[in-house]
């Protein structure tokens, strides 16, 4: 066998080994990933409610408007509260509401900067006690809540702080990480609900595709302690640096 043929043989063998190693690492990565069955963008919500029923005597804001923390929302006149005050109840104002102990008026305040939603009661209407009167969707708190159907052995591989890629409706992929996990087991399957923080959700460039309620897809990377974990991560980081992934 000539040296040229030997060189060709060794080159071919090296090429086969490289391709095989690359495919093995990619297959291992696929085994480490699970995809959401249901996922959507959400925001942190603050409920505005009262233990006392009463008549809304003043309304300072309209539904679907932006409010600032501490801004007045509405005032309720509560006969039940006034009766309790007359009976010696000691009530004090809080960051959520201002009390007028002389008249039994309660003025509710915005607990966060955001948009006022689900505001059904109007001035002059009666508000039952113990109900949510309004909801404030806090600004710049977008995150993703995703559901996964997993085998129990895969559920234990979810890690808080682990990688979770979010794909928006326009096919743009955002890098995120797991912030919380909850689970319900049904018929031997773990139905995991995962919250994912992805800071880029708050960028103006993706605002049209990251509105609350927008459907997205989440690819969750499971924890891997196998011997291929390190080489797989190194290979994927190299692909990312060269712009392939």
Domain total of the chain:
2
> Quick one: 192 and 147 in the same domain?
yes
**What pTM was estimated for this model as a whole?**
0.66
**Does a structural domain hold residue 158?**
yes
Last residue of a domain, one of 129, 151, 171: 129
Residue written as token pair 């234990």? 156
C-beta of residue 138 within 8 angstroms of C-beta of residue 43: yes
* Euclidean distance between CA atoms 116 and 118, whole angstroms: 7
* Euclidean distance between CA atoms 110 and 68, whole angstroms: 6
**Does a structural domain hold residue 199?**
yes
Cα radius of gyration (the chain): 28
CATH code, 101: 2.40.50.100
> Quick one: 69 and 178 in the same domain?
no
**Does a structural domain hold residue 47?**
no
> Quick one: 146 and 224 in the same domain?
yes
Q: Is the dihedral of CA 121, 124, 128, 129 positive or negative?
A: positive
> Quick one: 59 and 176 in the same domain?
no
* Max Cα distance, the chain (Å): 108
> Quick one: 96 and 152 in the same domain?
no
**Does a structural domain hold residue 102?**
yes
**Does a structural domain hold residue 63?**
yes
Per-residue pLDDT of the chain (245 residues; tens, 9 = 90+): 576 666 666 676 666 555 554 444 444 444 568 888 799 999 999 888 777 778 889 989 888 889 999 999 989 888 877 887 788 777 777 888 888 878 888 888 998 999 988 777 778 888 887 788 889 999 889 999 999 988 777 787 888 999 999 999 999 999 999 999 998 887 777 788 999 999 999 998 898 898 889 999 999 988 765 544 444 444 444 444 444 44
- The b/e string for 204-226 (b: 16+ C-beta within 10 A; e otherwise) is eebeebbeeebebbbbbbbebee
Note down the domain range covering 201: 32-42+141-231
CA nearest 65: which of 113, 106, 126?
A: 113
**Does a structural domain hold residue 82?**
yes
C-beta of residue 51 within 8 angstroms of C-beta of residue 129: yes
* Euclidean distance between CA atoms 74 and 70, whole angstroms: 12
> Quick one: 77 and 97 in the same domain?
yes
> Quick one: 93 and 162 in the same domain?
no
**Does a structural domain hold residue 98?**
yes
**Does a structural domain hold residue 16?**
no
């Amino acid at each position: 066998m000539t040296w040229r043929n030997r060189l060709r043989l060794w080159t071919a063998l090296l090429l086969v080994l490289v391709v095989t190693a690359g495919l093995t690492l990619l297959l291992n990565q696929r085994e480490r990933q699970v995809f959401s069955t249901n996922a959507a963008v959400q925001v942190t919500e603050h409920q505005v409610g009262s233990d006392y029923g009463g008549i809304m005597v003043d309304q300072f804001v309209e539904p679907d408007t932006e409010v600032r923390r501490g801004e007045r929302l509405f005032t309720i006149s509560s006969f039940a509260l006034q009766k309790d005050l007359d009976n010696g109840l000691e009530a004090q104002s809080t960051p959520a509401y201002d009390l007028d102990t002389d008249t039994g008026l309660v003025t509710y305040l915005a607990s966060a900067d955001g948009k006022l939603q689900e505001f059904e009661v109007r001035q002059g209407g009666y508000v039952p006690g113990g109900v949510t009167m309004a909801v404030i969707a806090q600004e710049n708190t977008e995150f993703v809540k995703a559901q996964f159907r997993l085998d129990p052995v895969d559920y234990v591989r979810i890690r808080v702080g682990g990688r979770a890629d979010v794909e928006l409706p326009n096919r743009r992929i955002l890098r995120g990480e797991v912030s919380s996990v909850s689970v319900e087991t049904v018929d031997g399957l773990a139905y995991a609900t995962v919250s994912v923080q992805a800071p880029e959700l708050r960028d103006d460039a993706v605002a049209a595709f990251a509105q609350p309620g927008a459907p997205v897809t989440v690819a969750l990377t499971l924890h891997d302690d196998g011997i291929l974990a390190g080489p797989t991560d190194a290979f994927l980081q190299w692909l990312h640096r060269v712009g392939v992934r």
